[in-house]
Amino acid sequence: MMAEQLLLRKIPPVLRARDFYLYTQGGQRLVDLWQYGGAAVLGHTPPHVLRELKNTANRGLFTPFPHPLENRLLKALSRIFPESTCRVYADEASLRRALAEAGFPENRPFPDPAVFPDEPLSTPGPSLWRPFLQDQSAENASPRTPVTRQGGSTELLVPVLPWALAPKVLVIGLRDEQVNRFPPSDILSPVLLTAAVRSIYDLIAAMPERGSVAFPHIPEALAHSTWRRRGIYLYYPELLDAEQYSTLFLHFLESGFLLPPSENLPLILPGALSPGEEAKLAALLRFIP
């Protein structure tokens, strides 16, 4: 975590974020390839989410009281995970306490299928779920995503939702009697719930367009690059030490592109690039630190 903070401090102060761009205090525009780990996979200014957030805030619903939005959130999640039970927790600390109460290792990292697609699960527990891991352009593409992991199935998933303030969701694909091992969902502020609900429906609406993002020069660059691709995600399969990854991060940053601050996070292709930006990114992908 300390290494991530050190790399983030290399970025000039960011005064504005819009779509897939960051605008810094010095007047530089950065193409965001981090996208806050996937929380900004639909962009930094999702208009529907901001509208719902404002409307709910205007009603003063900041306090975490029971609200019908709890059921609306579960209904939205069922569109993506139709045969599973979902629990919703306020933050990662609450999620991990729930896992510990259910008998799972509390501090176990969540394997990321966008970075380690073939890594076997060494111990039982949840894996991350990410949208757009495959090309969604096929006619039969559907937002309904089975609870599976490449190379086998998993019974617990933690979805990466497209909203920076989204609560943590645990998708449970276990038998009914096992679901009761997990504590009930937290009671959350309706302001947070309404934004989370809207972000999920926006995610569903973005399929297949966001998942079929096409840049003509990127596949050619990847053919001569160390980077590998899964859907809209690129990962660096070679193990880099802190100094090597810092060199890679700064090389991209100096060229106007923001990489994730950790080698354990995927590079995420934005929803759009200008021809010049795409050509520059294609050249950067060939760089070896």
| Residue 155 belongs to a domain | yes
Q: Is the pTM of this model over 0.75?
A: yes
pLDDT bin (cut points 50, 70, 90) of residue 138 is: very low
pLDDT tens figures, 186-244: 999 999 999 999 999 999 999 888 988 889 999 999 999 999 999 999 999 888 899 99
Per-residue pLDDT, averaged over 154-163, amounts to: 89
| Residue 227 belongs to a domain | no
| Residue 247 belongs to a domain | no
| Residue 234 belongs to a domain | no
Q: What is the DSSP string of 41-76?
A: TT-S--HHHHHHHHHHHHTTTTS----THHHHHHHH
User: Is-contact 165 237, C-beta < 8 A?
Assistant: no
| Residue 82 belongs to a domain | yes
DSSP tag of 4: H
| Residue 8 belongs to a domain | no
| Domain encompassing residue 102 | 47-206
User: Is-contact 277 31, C-beta < 8 A?
Assistant: yes
How many domains is the chain built from? 1
- Look up the CATH number of the domain holding residue 145: 3.40.640.10
